[in-house]
Amino acid sequence: MRLPDNELSNCYTVGELFDLILALLPDRSTAADRCATAMCFYRLRRAVLRLAPGIQLRPSMSIDVLRGLSVRSLYKSMHINEGLRPPIPYISRWGALSLLMAVTGPVGLLLAGSPWWLAVAPLVLCAVLYRLSPVRLPPNAKTFRAFVELVAARNIAELSAQGARLRPPEAWKALQVLCRDHAEPSDGEINQDTLIYDRRLARH
């Protein structure tokens, strides 16, 4: 689903964004009866078992059960073998530093009068360091259930096309999960009145 930019610019609250999504939502309520979260749970479990055979997974388990796995490998297994779009990768401090150096290093060398080929060297080094830096699991996912819900929300359109329910309650839950993954509101809950950005700031 792609939301028109001109209509998105008029959405100031999560509720207004949800209304826009509902207007574009396809009507699959009569045929679809499967639970998107359950579908996602079994696919994620298969992805994990490919990397760690024998591991026991339950929704209520702490996300720490996955800490021993390579997140890059897990995300690759999710995408290639299960057709799931993984969460946004959270990189370590070293990864973030590498990205920063990849921009500032070459620019600094060029401004200092160094030849262009010398400026390419730190770019290559930083790219290698970024690839080697660990990717972390989403910090807001404290349990395996929360991780499953996040992945289900990111893949809700594809899961719906495969028979998952996508009525207004399921669409609202998916939007809540996605919003919470990007920013935790001060009151800890995403509701219809939660601001995406302040109208007063938008006027300036």
Give the pair of three-digit tokens for residue 99. 């990205």
pTM (2 d.p.)? 0.69
pLDDT at 157 (0 to 100): 84
Q: CA geometry: angle at 10 spanning 4 and 16, to 5°?
A: 95
Whether residues 112 and 85 share a domain: the answer is no
Tally of domains within the chain: 2
Q: What is the pLDDT of residues 25-71, one digit of tens each?
A: 766 555 568 899 999 999 999 999 999 998 889 999 999 888 888 88
Helices (H) and strands (E) in the chain, counts: 10, 2
Q: What is the pLDDT of residues 145-188, one digit of tens each?
A: 999 999 999 898 889 888 888 888 888 888 888 887 766 655 56
Whether residues 66 and 123 share a domain: the answer is no
- Domain of 113? 93-133
Question: In sequence order, what E strands does 60-107 have?
Answer: 90-91
Whether residues 111 and 164 share a domain: the answer is no
